């Protein structure tokens, strides 16, 4: 019975580890929210752990006439992160690779549509014993209509 209890504790401890990592990544995303200023955060924290060379996609609906900022922020020790904004037909509307891997992009759409935010952690050309791995946050902000009127 004692051995069963020990095994149960080990399994329980191992099952909690991914949740701890996700919580740390969400906390990183909350701190990265500053990249959106003066835009207002939409309240959704999109963050995940990626390794160099890995990719991820996020699908999000954007509305016409609204001014947006997308911020893609990686932990400090991560390689550069490329992000592309594509329409539903996967036509590239923007890539930060052409802008020296900028963290943000501001835009306004003429028509409401779902866009794809594709992120890819670049690979490091130097040989290293460990592959870089860390949290990447994708944050979306919008400009308050009252702020636009005052400008």
Look up residue 99 and give its DSSP letter: G
Supply angle C-alpha 127, 128, 129, rounded to 5: 130
- Give the chain's radius of gyration (CA, Å): 19
Model confidence pTM above 0.85: no
pLDDT in tens, 34-56: 999 999 999 999 999 999 999 99
pLDDT of residue 4: 44
Phi, psi of 90 (to 5 degrees): 70, 20
Cα 69 from Cα 81, distance rounded (Å): 17
3-state helix/strand/coil string of 33-46 = HHHHCCCEECCCCE
* Strand segments (E) across the chain: 40-41, 46-51, 55-62, 67-74, 81-86, 92-95, 104-108, 113-121, 133-142
Q: Number of folded domains in the chain? A: 1
Cis peptide before 38, with omega less than 30 degrees from 0?
yes
- Domain with 72 in it: what CATH number? 2.60.120.380
- Determine what percent of the chain is predicted with pLDDT higher than 70: 78
- Strand order across the 55-62 sheet: 55-62, 113-121, 81-86, 92-95
Contact 138, 35 (CB under 8 A): no
Q: Which domain holds residue 47?
A: 2-150
Of 68, 59, 75, 54, give the one whose Cα is nearest residue 134.
Answer: 75
pLDDT in tens, 127-140: 566 778 999 999 99
């Amino acid at each position: 019975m004692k051995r069963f209890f020990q095994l149960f504790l080990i399994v329980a401890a191992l099952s909690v580890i991914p949740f701890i990592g996700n919580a740390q990544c969400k906390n990183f995303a909350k701190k990265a929210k500053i990249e959106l200023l003066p835009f207002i955060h939409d309240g959704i924290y999109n963050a995940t752990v990626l390794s160099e060379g890995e990719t991820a996609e996020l699908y999000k609906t954007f509305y016409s006439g609204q001014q947006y900022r997308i911020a893609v922020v990686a932990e400090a020790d991560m390689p550069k992160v490329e992000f592309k904004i594509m329409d539903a037909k996967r036509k590239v509307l923007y890539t930060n690779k052409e802008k020296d891997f900028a963290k943000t992009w501001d835009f306004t759409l003429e028509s409401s549509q779902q866009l794809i935010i594709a992120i890819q952690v670049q690979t490091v050309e130097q040989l290293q014993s460990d592959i870089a791995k860390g949290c990447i946050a994708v944050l979306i902000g919008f400009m308050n209509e009252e702020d636009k009127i005052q400008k």
